[in-house]
Amino acid sequence: MDETQKVLQYLTEVEEAAEDVLADKQQIVDLDVKRNRNREALAALHRDRDEADKVKVCFGNMFIKLPRTTTKQMIQKDQEQLDKEINDLRKRLKAKVNRLNELQGKPELTGYNLSPLSTEELKSINKILGR
């Protein structure tokens, strides 16, 4: 019975880790959908400049008229918040995937912890290369 309990506990840990990874992936997808909707809204606000100063904004199941500039600012702040949340989730997801691989006895993913060059680093490289 003791061996059965160990196997059951191991499988439970692996299943919980996998569920955690899948939940984070789904949350990233959901936030990305919202981010794309915001991007579409900003494009529509930019495209339709000749219309009235106020625009209708949907909050839940209500439409409210707000000034165009206020609406743009709200959407841009929401975009920044969504970007931050998505980046945080992606960083945590890397650790969770590594934990899942560790539980399954698989090697850690190589190259998975790479991060893109920052703007300053990219400028420095371009300067060195003479671009």
pTM tops 0.75? no
Helix 68-104 with 2-47: angle, nearest 10 deg: 160
Domain count of the fold of the chain: 1
| Full residue range of the structural domain in which residue 102 is found | 2-129
CB atoms within 10 A of CB 84: 10
Where does the pLDDT of residue 23 fall: very low under 50, low under 70, confident under 90, or very high at 90 and above? very high
CB atoms within 10 A of CB 76: 12
**pLDDT for 112 beyond 80:** no
* CATH of residue 35: 1.10.287.370
d(CA 83, CA 112): 20
Collapsing DSSP to helix, strand or coil, 56 comes out as strand
Read off the pLDDT of residues 44-92 as tens digits, 9 standing for 90 and up: 888 877 666 888 888 889 999 989 889 999 999 999 999 999 999 998 9
d(CA 99, CA 106): 10
